[in-house]
Amino acid sequence: MVRAVPVWLRLAGVVFVVLTALVLLAPLIVVVGVSISESQFIAFPPNGLSLRWYEAVLSSDAYLGAGWISLQIAALVTVLATLVGGAAAIAIHRRQLPFSELLATAFLSPLVLPTIIYAIGMLMFWSAAFGTVTPMVLALSHTVIALPYVVRTTLAVLSEADPFLEEAARTMGANRLQRLWLVVVPQCLPGLAAGAFFAFNISFDEAVLSLFLRGPTLTTLPVQIYGQLEFSPDPSVAAVSTIMIALTIALIAIIERMLGLNRFASA
Amino acid sequence: MINDRTENLLLAVPGILLLALAFFLPIAQMLALSVSGPDGPTLAPFERFLSDPYYLGILWRTVRLSLLITVICAAIGFPLAYIMTKVGPRVRLWLVVMVILPLMTSVVVRTFGWMVLLSRSGLIPELLRDMGLVGRSFALMQTEAAIVIGMVQVLLPFMALSVLGVLTRIDARLEEAARTMGCSFLQTIRTVVLPLALPGIVAGSLLCFTLSASSFVTPSLLGGARIQVLAASIYRSVTATPDWPFAAAQAVILFAGILLLLIPYIRLTGARHG
């Protein structure tokens, strides 16, 4: 006879999940709460409702400028990481290169190395070579840390794809470019799309590389927020942060609708 | 005409070039800089770090806090991941969202939330004071406790997902078998689920420890200038007192320390399962 799971344990499980959810989501809820506060100072729970801090953000050159830079860099990173990472994943998946195991490890290695160590290396290398850090250098560094995500999602999709489809296309007379573009790339598409969304999210939210590689004219949104937090934040920081949270929720909703979160959550 | 190998090489070359120029070369350069002085190779930055009690204190605090954060993440992450495998698909999706939403939100934003919650007039110290658990002068901001609370929330998703990945691949019949043979629920967890989940817990712990030891945004905002960790000290050596060789030396110490702690850990668990 199987003894049932005791009721107190089931109850404990429910309480545990609720408490964990509270801890995980508390900082986000608080930020949203502060952003709609009427008060001059940061306060939670908010006293009085108002959208004045959103107006303050939308009329602030510092926030708008940083937001524009972040968007441009994230867009560039998304395109670069998806193209470069997707192509590399196809090559790795075929296992025809003599060093494809080593190659796979190399492409995943930015995941393992702590970002701060990489950030110092980038700063020292590019400042020594060119005297200054350009937006392109920051975008390249974001691309490097986004690359493993694109490679991983694309490899995950390819490992479930039908390998004989490309063979069939070959026998039917398709040339190399046609096979790649009409057979392999469509097979990769869900992985490429998921990788692209992750790449955008990584670049848009990234703070460590952006802090090390920042310059007078190169301040991304997270760096701008960090600077505010170090000194005297007013609720406008909460309004910007809420906008960033909303963007993240939108990205998660798109990934779930298009591809299903579960597929990548436990990959 | 190009052959298969050329085609694959062409596909991989942009990525290889990018990694070489914007990843491996800069890191090699940093390693070289950490041992270069004005008159040839030197270990002076390392000597300076390892002979100063102030910096040794920072190193010890970094290791201590990272271990504590990793243990707490494992203690919460394992049951959370286990429950995620047992609930229905709808609840499971919401739990995945609950884990992924903070994970995909900028660390700066999450730390800001904790600054509000933990500040002198914030919700958590107020609550503790009202319940009479702490004195009137109690503060959480700029303490090690604040760093631990903030970092656990930042790193818990990594642990939960890493354990979840292993748990979903465990054959459910093993658990059923243990239960029909008379094991209680908790016995089954201890003797069947936990040992099988160990690789996921180990992988998650490695990740949590590495990320914890190398992060500076959350520790410097929640711990303040007096409670420094190694990564914050590196950042300061780069920005406040530009001393790049010293910053590079500290980064090398951080990296070596992580490797030193992780290699025996991997060996240990590898031997038990291999």
A109, part of any domain:
yes
Q: What is the pLDDT of residue A234?
A: 83
Domain that holds residue A152: 52-265
Q: What is the pLDDT of residues A191-235, one digit of tens each?
A: 899 899 999 999 999 999 999 998 778 899 999 999 999 887 888
Q: Which 3 state secondary structure label does DSSP give B168?
A: coil
Task: Give mean pLDDT, residues A151-161.
Answer: 89
Interface contact A207-B238, CB threshold 8 A? no
Which residue has 């991304």 as its token pair? A220
Lowest mean pLDDT among A165-174, B18-27, B142-151, B155-164: A165-174
A187 or A96, higher pLDDT? A187
A12, part of any domain:
no
* Single-letter code of the amino acid located at B194: L
Interface contact B109-A128, CB threshold 8 A? no
Interface contact A122-B22, CB threshold 8 A? yes
- B166 pLDDT tier (thresholds 50, 70, 90): very high
d(CA A136, CA A138): 5
B183, part of any domain:
yes
Q: Which residues, other chains included, contact B57 with Cβ-Cβ below 8 Å and sequence gap of 6+?
A: none
- B140 pLDDT tier (thresholds 50, 70, 90): confident
B14, part of any domain:
no
Domain count, chain B: 1
A27, part of any domain:
no
B20, part of any domain:
no
Search chain A and give the residue with CA nearest B84: A17
Q: What is the pLDDT of residue B274?
A: 37
* Residue among B106, B118, B126, B162 with most chain A CBs within 10 A, to mutate: B106
Domain count, chain A: 1
d(CA B205, CA B269): 12
Tell me how long chain A is.
267
Q: What is the pLDDT of residues A171-192, one digit of tens each?
A: 888 888 888 888 889 999 988 9
Residue B36 zone, left/alpha/beta (φ > 0; ψ -120 to 50; rest): beta
Interface contact A245-B109, CB threshold 8 A? yes
Alpha-carbon dihedral A243, A248, A254, A256, rounded to 10 degrees = -140
Contacts with A, B 90-109, CB within 8 Å: 92-93, 95-102, 104-109
Interface contact B12-A87, CB threshold 8 A? yes
Quick check: A201 and B104 in contact, CB under 8 A? yes
Task: Give mean pLDDT, residues B174-201.
Answer: 88
Please give the model's pTM, rounded to 2 decimal places.
0.90
* DSSP assignment letter at A3: P
A160, part of any domain:
yes
Q: What is the pLDDT of residue A122?
A: 92
Closest C-alpha to A76, from A142, A28, A175: A142
B127 reaches A (C-beta below 8 A): no
B196, part of any domain:
yes
Domain that holds residue B83: 65-229
Search chain B and give the residue with CA nearest A199: B104
d(CA B222, CA B69): 15
Half-sphere exposure in the Cβ direction for A69 (13 Å, CA)? 24
How far, in Å, are A27, B194, B240 from residue A117 at the CA level?
Answer: 28, 34, 17
Backbone angles phi, psi at A54, to 5 degrees: -70, -40
Interface pTM (ipTM) of the complex?
A: 0.89
Half-sphere exposure in the Cβ direction for B165 (13 Å, CA)? 16
CATH of the domain at B159: 1.10.3720.10
Q: What is the pLDDT of residue B271?
A: 53
Task: Give mean pLDDT, residues A127-143.
Answer: 86
CATH of the domain at A192: 1.10.3720.10
Spell out which residues of chain A touch residue B26, defining contact as CB-CB under 8 Å: 118, 121-122, 124-126
